[in-house]
Amino acid sequence: MLTIKNLKAKVEDKDILKGLNIDVKPGEVHAIMGPNGAGKSTLGYVLAGRDGYEVTDGSAELHGENLLDMDAEERARKGLFLAFQYPVEIPGVSNMEFLKASVDAVREARGLEPYSSVEFIKLAREKSKAVNLPADFLKRGVNEGFSGGEKKRNELMQMMLLEPSLCILDETDSGLDIDALQVVAEGVNALRSPDRSFIVVTHYQRLLDYIVPDYVHVLADGKIVKSGGKELALELEKEGYRWIEGETV
Amino acid sequence: MRTELNIDKALAALADQPKPDWLVHWQQQGQQVLSQTAWPTRKTENWKYTSLKSLQGISWQAETPDAVADGIRFVDWQEISIDFVNGRLVNTPKLPDGVTLHRLSDCSEAEGLTFLQKVDSERAGFEFDALNQSLLTEGYWLKVAKDIQVAQPIHLNFISSGADVVTSTQVLVELESGARATIAETFSATAEARVLVNANTALYVGDNAQLTHYHLLLEEGEVRHIGRVTGSLSRFASLSSFHMAVGGILKRKDITIRHRGEGAELSLNGVYLPKGHEVIDYHTTLEHEVPNCTSSEIFRGIMADHGKAVFNGRIHIHKDAQKSVAEMNNRNLLLSDHAEIDTKPELEIYADDVRCAHGATIAQLDKSLLFYFQARGISKKEAEVMLSFGFINELLDALNDQPVQTLLRPLLATLFAQKQADLARHIL
Ligand SMILES: Nc1ncnc2c1ncn2[C@@H]1O[C@H](COP(=O)(O)OP(=O)(O)OP(=O)(O)O)[C@@H](O)[C@H]1O
Ligand SMILES: [Mg+2]
């Protein structure tokens, strides 16, 4: 699914990713944990193709295709989805308009017919219900005035509508109340399938009780410094990152 | 201005036309002022950022071609459409009871002088008023009688055509006390038109009357449009006036609204969208002459390509106009490094108990917003269109005005997508 080899990237002349390796196979869930500023969000942006993030070495392939050569929109159309840590607000563009444009674009790339407006409205309502967002959020500007938790749920709704093959969730659990956390976990679990993979960035072991990962990685200072099974998250919770840093130094 | 602006042919044609003495007198007065007025240059305060070069080197003529163009048609608005080609009325639709449309040329001397006096009393130092006066052959007086509520919108559909044609028009809209109406003026041009449109509109809103007004400059191609809109509000009158300018070589509109009766309310809004090498210039002035009046003004612009816009928004609170409330906001979006906006808010306050605010901003499309679209599979081009439209849409939404939503949204959507259907599909 996704193969990242020795990936190095910098932002504004500052090296952030310093030789990162991950191999995600179809159907797997990988959790990435790590201290603030380690480069977790940067990894997401680099994979999603954000301007200003310069790859200086290494490779990243999605379905065997070189991801790094593609425009951001092309990556999304090929099945990559990044749920943002900080979703932006877009006043003047309604959520519904935005979702339709997005789903149409991705479906077109897959050779599928666009939904009719009626079909789409029905579908969008269904998904907004699934993430516990009242339907009138569809009429509001994208994320405009949404609370932190509502923004995260909106991200999840987009993911459900786009049916991507690789989902990167950047702290989608941060800022969620306990009920919302369950909603998110249920949403993700419902999407789990043998041909869909997840990278879940989180600071909290708790999420991983709900979304049980196949692997847990620790990202520190731009590198994966430790990998293991789901038990690793429990150890981290107990010992903190210093324990690992001590080990690697 | 006579040496710089060559209207000899147009003036010669005027001389051949039969018309009443009072109108001849009016024209001659205008011509005199015109020859005494200095040609506006970059050194002229009001024209600092806008060049009039595109008016020069052309021998302007007054032509009345037989072609009848279609102009702008609204769908599903059920409006009464009154069509004008190069300033000539070309149809005579049936008007609702209490609504009358008089041609200046049909007026008696007393009526004609009243018309001209009403127009004249609103003017204030706009160079092109003299041009309008010099070449004015026809004016239109639309009157809504006392307490008449006109449900059906009235559409004044102005179409320009011909080569090197200059047309001066003057519309006078008068709502008597308690009247209510919606009037939309649209200006369009045939594809091959090379014209100077000099269109003036004067609005009089009587005591307790309510006017909803649209003034949309939609001409594309080789069109220069220079004119003015004036408004006079009486006691507890309410005016909502929406402006828009797209296309053409040069568009300049001076808008002056005067609060003349206490309790009057104004909502003045507009959108300008220069692209290519187009220049659009709005100068607005709000005159609070009496106490207890309210003004709210929002203009937004998007400048693409080498497009350029000028916005000058002046609020003038006179000495006695206590308890005035006036707010003006101008926001601009630059889509290219070659685009330009010159915006200048001006506040002149001579009363002490007032609430005034103004602000102007200039921004570019936010890259982090563009990335959000792209990360969802939407192309950068489509994202730009959706974001730009969103910028204008915020204003349209805030107006909470049904015709604006149903008529202007589709019109704007097509404009934004520069007629590319695949780009417009999600904003239509
Ligand atoms: N545009 C930028 N300019 C300069 N430095 C940047 C920029 N973007 C990110 N960085 C830096 O890169 C480093 C990695 O940031 P990143 O957001 O990837 O961390 P993170 O692991 O996601 O942290 P957190 O857990 O707090 O979300 C940080 O030190 C950050 O300050
Ligand atoms: Mg982060």
**CB of A7 closer than 8 Å to CB of A59:** yes
Q: How far apart are CA A1 and CA B255, in angstroms?
A: 62
pLDDT confidence tier of residue A249, bands split at 50, 70 and 90: very low
Give the number of C-alpha atoms closer than 13 A to the C-alpha of residue B81, restricted to the C-beta side: 18
CB contact under 8 A, B425 and A90: no
State the alpha helices, DSSP H only, in A22-116. 40-48, 72-77, 95-109
How confident is the model at residue B428, as a pLDDT? Answer: 60
Q: What share of chain A in percent tops pLDDT 90? A: 78
pLDDT of residue B255: 98
Distance from CA of B427 to the nearest CA of A (A): 7
Which of A16, A86, A199, A219 is the best mutation target for the ligand 1 pocket, counting ligand atoms within 8 Å of the beta carbon and taking the most?
A16
Protein residue closest via CA to atom 16 of ligand 1 = A39
Say whether residue B389 is in contact with chain A using an 8 A CB cutoff: yes
Digit-coded pLDDT (tens) for B355-381:
999 999 999 999 999 999 999 999 998
3-state secondary structure of A128: helix
Ligand positioned closest to the Cα atom of A43: 1
Query: Mean pLDDT across the stretch A112-124?
Result: 92
- The rounded mean pLDDT for chain B is 92
Shortest CA gap B423–chain A (Å): 10
Angle of CA points A84, A88, A90, to nearest 5°? 140
Q: What is the pLDDT of residue A193?
A: 94
Report the alpha-carbon angle A148-A151-A157, nearest 5.
150
The closest CB to that of B374, out of A73, A109, A141, belongs to: A73
Instruction: Report the residue of chain A nearest B385, measured CA to CA.
Output: A93
Nearest-Cα distance to chain A for B184, in Å, is: 25
Side chain identity at A215, as an amino acid letter?
Y
Closest residue (by CA) to atom 5 of ligand 1? A11
Query: What is the nearest CA distance from B370 to chain A, expressed in angstroms?
Result: 10
Look at residue B424 in the predicted model and tell me its pLDDT: 63
Task: Quickly state the pLDDT bin for B73 (edges 50, 70, 90).
Answer: confident
Mean pLDDT of chain A: 92
ipTM surpasses 0.90: yes
The more confident residue out of A54 and B428 is A54
| Per-residue model confidence as pLDDT tens digits over B256-311 | 999 999 999 999 999 999 999 999 999 999 999 999 999 999 999 999 999 999 99
| B208-212, B234-238, B372-376, B413-417: the lowest-pLDDT one | B413-417
Ligand 2 center to A185 CA (angstroms): 19
- Which ligand is closest to the CA of A241, given by its number? 1
Is the per-residue pLDDT at B402 higher than 90?
no
Terminal-residue alpha carbon distance, chain B: 45
Q: Do B391 and A48 touch (CB under 8 A)?
A: no
A158: chain B residues, CB-CB within 8 Å = 376
Residue B99 neighbours by CB under 8 Å, 6+ apart: B142, B143, B144, B145, B148, B150, B154, B181
**B425 interface with A at CB cutoff 8 Å:** yes
Count CB-CB contacts under 10 A for residue B275. 20
What pLDDT, on the 0 to 100 scale, is given for residue A244? 73
Residue among A50, A72, A90 minimizing CB distance to B369: A90
Question: What's the pTM?
Answer: 0.89
d(CA B138, CA B118): 15
User: Is A72 in the B-facing interface, judged by CB distances under 8 Å?
Assistant: yes
Encode chain B in three state secondary structure: CCCCCCCHHHHHHHHHCCCCHHHHHHHHHHHHHHHHCCCCCCCCHHHCCCCCHHHCCCCCECCCCCCCCCCCCCCCCCCEEEEEECCEECCCCCCCCCEEEEEHHHCCHHHHHHHHHHHHCCCCCCHHHHHHHHHCCCEEEEEECCCCECCCCEEEEEEECCEEEEEEEEEEEEECCCCEEEEEEEEEECCCCEEEEEEEEEEEECCCCEEEEEEEECCCCEEEEEEEEEEEECCCCEEEEEEEEECCCEEEEEEEEEECCCCCEEEEEEEEECCCCCEEEEEEEEEECCCCCEEEEEEEEEECCCCEEEEEEEEEECCCCCCCEEEEEEEEEECCCCCEEEEEEEEEECCCCCEEEEEEEEEECCHHHHHHHHCCCCCHHHHHHHHHHHHHHHHHHHHCCHHHHHHHHHHHHHHHCCCCHHHHCCCC
Which protein residue has the closest C-alpha to ligand 1 atom 2? A11
Q: Is A191 in the pocket of ligand 1 (CB under 6 A)?
A: no
**Best mutation target, A11, A73, A89, A98, to test chain B (most B CBs within 10 A):** A73
Q: Which two tokens stand for residue A202?
A: 């989180």
Q: What percentage of chain B carries pLDDT values higher than 70?
A: 96
pLDDT at position B158 over 80: yes
Tokens 């308690």 belong to B178
Residue A37 Cα, ligand 1 centroid: separation in angstroms? 5
Q: Does residue B380 belong to the interface with chain A, where contact is any CB pair within 8 Å?
A: yes
Residues on chain A touching B423 (C-beta within 8 angstroms): none
Taking an 8 Å cut-off on Cβ atoms, the answer to whether B377 and A88 are in contact is no
User: Using CA atoms, how far apart are residues A242 and A222, in angstroms rounded to an integer?
Assistant: 16
Contact B378 A109 (CB under 8 A): no
Considering only the beta carbons, identify the residue of A81, A88, A91 that sits closest to B394.
A91
pLDDT in tens, A69-105: 999 999 999 999 999 999 999 988 999 999 999 999 9
Contact B374, A74 (CB under 8 A): no
CB pairs under 8 A between A and B: 88
Give the C-alpha separation, B421 to B337, whole Å. 26
